[in-house]
Amino acid sequence: MDQAQVIKKEREDWTRLYHKTLKEIKVMIDVQRMLKDMKKIAEETSMTVIEMEGTILTASINNQTMNATNIMQIVEDLRYLIQSDMDN
């Protein structure tokens, strides 16, 4: 009878260990899923930042072009004013 109790206790210990190990594996799988999701979010964020950089660069180039055009127009207007003053 004593040996039967020892075997039963041993079996219960192994069963507990088995279930504990399964829970730990499940936690590891959940952590891996979270890391995979975080990596995906980071990649998407990176792409968004790259798109934003492109938009800002385009806006900056457009702004520089507009400024250059405005400056050239001002220069032409000044030349016209100076020329018309000289003609009078």
| Beta strands, E only, 22-81 | none
pLDDT band at residue 1 using 50, 70 and 90 as cut-offs: low
Distance CA 84, CA 76 (A): 12
One-letter amino acid of 86 = M
pLDDT tens for 10-66 read 999 999 999 999 999 999 999 999 999 999 999 999 999 999 999 999 999 999 999
Gap between the Cα atoms of 18 and 26, Å rounded: 12
Please state, in angstroms and rounded to a whole number, the distance separating the CA atoms of residues 74 and 80. Answer: 10
Per-residue pLDDT band at 88 (split at 50, 70, 90): low
pLDDT at 53: 94
Whole-structure pTM value: 0.59
